[in-house]
Amino acid sequence: MSERFSFDLHARDGKARTGVIQTPRGAVRTPAFMPVGTAATVKAMMPESVRATGADILLGNTYHLMLRPTAERIDRLGGLHKFMNWERPILTDSGGFQVMSLAGLRKLTEKGVTFKSHIDGSKHELTPERSMEIQRLLGSDIVMCFDECPALPADRDRIAESMRLSMRWAERSRAAFGDRPGHALFGIMQGGLEQDLREESAEALKAIGFEGYAVGGLAVGEGQEAMFDCLDYAPGFLPEDKPRYLMGVGKPDDIVGAVKRGIDMMDCVLPSRSGRTGQVFTRHGVLNIKNARHIDDPRPLDEACTCPACRNFSRAYLHHVFRSQEIISSMLLTWHNLHYFQEIMAGMREAIAAGTFAAWEADFHAGRAQGDI
Ligand SMILES: CNc1nc2cc(C(N)=O)ccc2[nH]1
């Protein structure tokens, strides 16, 4: 285990990169996918099961945890790692995105955001300083700057104004974070789909200096083509030698396209949330287990998959327990989806190291039938 936070790039293939982030709580192999552990749990998964899928790091949500059970209570109980029995790295978001997407009665000023809890209507405030304090109390290994992520579509002036506010908040986040060896603070690039504003944001963040850099403000309704157009230039504005984290992404083909364009880390609720709705991701495409066509199907979800759902259960059984709203349905489908997402990451890491990413990507796309399978 390293006492420091560091990032070592091992290989490149085109713009795609593979390497390792070292932290005092363990190594993170990149490109990395982070399962989302919103309320101190990856829903329907035991922590050891999350690890068994291949995850090196998971994401915790500041907004949810500050409201319930509160950061102070988690701190008193030994921090988030101990609280949720996950002793490997945790990245926490700043709360900024979820305040704007979940909370009620929000008021945004230069200082920060005041809002009402979606749980009980109680009043709260998030500022760069309070977000840093919460993430410190949680004990997270990678802390995210407090920022504002404007909803798209938005006009250029709004995007510019919002980005510049986030850059001022990045300064304040850096100042409030303090000197915490072994912990990292990541800046978040904003700027919407405006190339010049993205470059301005990157320059502002580099002038402050961070241990890693996120591409924020995407996966907010712009669509894959627009997101990839932005990713064709935005990662290149960021330092080569620091991790690049694309927030909130995404479907398997989004993830592959992002890594191809130079992204090292991603997080998304899709594999876990969709597992609970019966949506199953496989190397041959997507299926929904609730479809009646599975009712007598003795085959596994994916013959080639080694997860517990595919090794031990038929589609007919998974259809039955989904239809019966049995808890095991969410457990098995979440496990399968997370396992598959980690299989994609492992395949890309290996391909980039071998210089065969283009062939791997062609095989990835070739295997995916259209629609249900
Ligand atoms: C699900 N899409 C998504 N876009 C995001 C953008 C941010 C951001 N801070 O710009 C954070 C979380 C995000 N999640």
Q: Is 219 in the pocket of ligand 1 (CB under 6 A)?
A: yes
Report which protein residue has its CA nearest ligand 1's atom 8. 216
- Rounded CA gap, 31 and 241, in Å? 14
The residue written with tokens 């935005």 in the block is 234
Q: Which residue type occupies 76?
A: R
Q: State pTM to two decimals.
A: 0.98
Rg (CA), the chain: 20
Task: Output the CA 93–ligand 1 centroid distance in Å.
Answer: 9
Task: Output the CA 258–ligand 1 centroid distance in Å.
Answer: 15
Residue 107's DSSP bridge partners are: 114
The helix/strand/coil state of 189 is: strand
Annotation says 93 is catalytic: yes
- The pLDDT of residue 316 is 98
Out of 13, 254, 267, 302, the active site residue is: 267
ipTM over 0.90: yes
Query: Phi, psi at residue 253, to the nearest 5°?
Result: -75, -25
- The pLDDT of residue 369 is 62
251, 258 Cβ separation under 8 angstroms: no
Q: Are strands 184-189 and 104-108 parallel, antiparallel or unpaired?
A: unpaired
Q: Is 217 in the pocket of ligand 1 (CB under 6 A)?
A: yes
Report which protein residue has its CA nearest ligand 1's atom 7. 216
Task: Output the CA 247–ligand 1 centroid distance in Å.
Answer: 5
Residue 75's DSSP bridge partners are: none
- Rounded CA gap, 276 and 267, in Å? 17
- The pLDDT of residue 261 is 99
- The pLDDT of residue 264 is 99
Task: Output the CA 151–ligand 1 centroid distance in Å.
Answer: 10
- The pLDDT of residue 158 is 97
- The pLDDT of residue 333 is 98
- The pLDDT of residue 153 is 85
238, 213 Cβ separation under 8 angstroms: yes
The residue written with tokens 């502002």 in the block is 204
Task: Output the CA 317–ligand 1 centroid distance in Å.
Answer: 36
Task: Output the CA 251–ligand 1 centroid distance in Å.
Answer: 14
Q: pLDDT per residue over 58-72, tens digit each?
A: 999 999 999 999 999
Task: Output the CA 262–ligand 1 centroid distance in Å.
Answer: 18
Report which protein residue has its CA nearest ligand 1's atom 1. 248
Sequence-separated (6 or more) residues with CB below 8 Å from residue 118: 67, 102, 103, 104
Q: Is 216 in the pocket of ligand 1 (CB under 6 A)?
A: yes
Length of the chain: 373
Q: Is 169 in the pocket of ligand 1 (CB under 6 A)?
A: no
Out of 13, 56, 93, 141, the active site residue is: 93
Atom of ligand 1 nearest to the CA of 94: 9
Spell out the per-residue pLDDT of the chain, length 373, in tens: 778 999 999 999 999 999 999 999 999 999 999 999 999 999 999 999 999 999 999 999 999 999 999 999 999 999 999 999 999 999 999 999 999 998 888 999 999 999 999 999 999 999 999 999 999 999 999 999 999 999 878 999 999 999 999 999 999 999 999 999 999 999 999 999 999 999 999 999 999 999 999 999 999 999 999 999 999 999 999 999 999 999 999 999 999 999 999 999 999 999 999 999 999 999 999 999 999 999 999 999 999 999 999 999 999 999 999 999 999 999 999 999 999 999 999 999 999 999 999 999 999 999 886 656 8
213, 239 Cβ separation under 8 angstroms: yes
HEC per residue, 265-294: EEECCHHHHHHHCCEEEECCEEEECCCHHH
Annotation says 75 is catalytic: no
Q: Is 149 in the pocket of ligand 1 (CB under 6 A)?
A: yes
Report which protein residue has its CA nearest ligand 1's atom 9. 216
Q: Would you give the DSSP letter of residue 36?
A: B
Report which protein residue has its CA nearest ligand 1's atom 13. 248
* Tokens at 213, concatenated: 């850099």
Report which protein residue has its CA nearest ligand 1's atom 2. 248
283, 368 Cβ separation under 8 angstroms: yes
Q: Which residue type occupies 137?
A: L
Report which protein residue has its CA nearest ligand 1's atom 3. 248
- Rounded CA gap, 50 and 334, in Å? 10
63, 134 Cβ separation under 8 angstroms: no
